[in-house]
A and B are shown apart, each in its own frame.
Chain A
Amino acid sequence: MALTGVLRPGHVQLRVLDMAAALQHYGKVLGLWETARDAQGRVYFKAWDEHDHHSVVLREAETAGMDFMGFKVDSPATLKKLAEDVKASGLATDMKWIEAGEMLKTGERFRFTVPTGHAIELFAEKEQVGNMMPLENPETCPENLKGMSPTRFDHCLLYGDDLDGTVKLFMDVLGFKLAEQVVAGPDRLQIAAFLTCSNKPHDVAFIRHPEKNKFHHASFILDNWGEVLKAADIITRHRVSLDIGPTRHGITRGETIYFFDPSGNRNEVFSGGYISYPDRPTLTWTDDELGRAIFYHDRKLNEAFLSVVT
């Protein structure tokens, strides 16, 4: 197996102000499938083509934002090893093991806070519930898909202060690679890092920002540009708060649209992007071209897109 260690983003837990409104948004508009509710009142969702039990967990709270993001690793042995490596790195704080089952259908998780202030966790096991099609002689998609119907939870973009520390932890300890970066100012200071643990252009990205532990968006992947356009129609049909799009990113080349859930957490659905093999050189963007880097057609720095976080 060539893809080892940290495999992919496995789940994200988001805080919502109103669970009923959130269920309508994530279930009917985005089109995720509810798989469970737990004793804490959390609601679990998966995208249709994910086999694991869930990838999005919603928790009703007094604030919006992200509680934590979890990455799936290839085995329990890798989980143990990476936990030791994280401890030894001196880069993480608030480290703890969370027992299996605290999150439904999920094995034990190792949680730690990275230097940008985000709670990140690793886990190796989650019950597979399938994608509503047989594993032998399947169709191409199940019947009765709804809303935007992304195939999977793809990545998050997170904001925090100590970008250097977080990037070092993800690259040197967890084995991520830097697919793209943004540098700014006369010293070419890194202000954004797009990190991959697979062959996607990003599995998680971070932007330098004065406050710790801020959430910019959670992203879900669609099959093609036509589906991004259809997502835009769904956004208007349901009077969802639109941020920007449909358009294309220079960074990652994704075809994209951004919108907000009813609590103000930003979502993205996108398609496209390139294959990022481990030997692909890092792409660098400079702040004077940042408008084009982020929105390739508009070519203007979009302050609201860059500055609005939860």
Chain B
Amino acid sequence: MERYEVHIENTREAYRCAADRTLLGGMEALARKGIPVGCRGGGCGVCKVRIESGSVRAEKMSREHVTVDEQAQGYVLACRAYPTSDVRLAAVDKLARCIERSHSRTGSAFLDAALAAAHRS
């Protein structure tokens, strides 16, 4: 099985990912961090990444999270994408930003969201 180097720009982590594992699955299997882990089924969108260089093969994913245009620009859900070359990527979802915790009011992304919703509705 072909294996490729995957580099996560947010955390400067790198790992080897087999061509039959998803970018997210390869990261999880080696207990690496950097791409948020959600449903692993292409439905929730939290593992959305932008492929900065290299190529991937993507399976069906929710169009609520990656539109056809975005996919053409290199956005993909890491749980639905298999590497076909070495890849450099950046995680782009809100949960990736909350890993840094720098903008949190409560220290919890969940509580931030719930309290923000109250002020909006």
Q: A17-B60, A161-B121, A303-B95 are in contact. Are A185 and B41 (CB under 8 A)?
A: no
Q: Give bound CA distance, A303 to B94, whole Å.
A: 12
Task: Return chain A residues, CB-CB under 8 Å to B44.
Answer: 64, 264, 308-310
Q: Which of B36, B40, B63, B114 contacts A184 (CB 8 A)?
A: B114
Task: Return chain B residues, CB-CB under 8 Å to A309.
Answer: 44
Q: A303-B110, A304-B37, A308-B38 are in contact. Are A17 and B46 (CB under 8 A)?
A: no
- How many contacts A-B (CB < 8 Å)? 114
Chain B CB within 10 A, most for which of A163, A164, A191: A191
Interface pair B38/A162, CB less than 8 Å apart: no
Interface pair A303/B42, CB less than 8 Å apart: no
Interface pair A260/B110, CB less than 8 Å apart: no
Least Cβ–Cβ distance between A244 and chain B, in angstroms: 12
Chain A residue, CB-CB nearest to B107: A301
Binding site for A on B (CB under 8 A): 36-44, 46, 60-64, 95, 98, 106, 108-111, 113-118, 120-121
Instruction: Identify 15 residue pairs between A and B in the complex whose beta-carbon atoms are under 8 Å apart, listed by A's number.
Output: A64-B41, A65-B43, A115-B121, A163-B117, A165-B121, A209-B114, A210-B117, A241-B39, A260-B41, A263-B42, A263-B43, A265-B39, A301-B108, A306-B108, A307-B109
Binding site for B on A (CB under 8 A): 17-18, 62-65, 115, 161-165, 184-185, 189, 191, 207-210, 241, 243, 260-266, 287, 290, 301, 303-304, 306-310
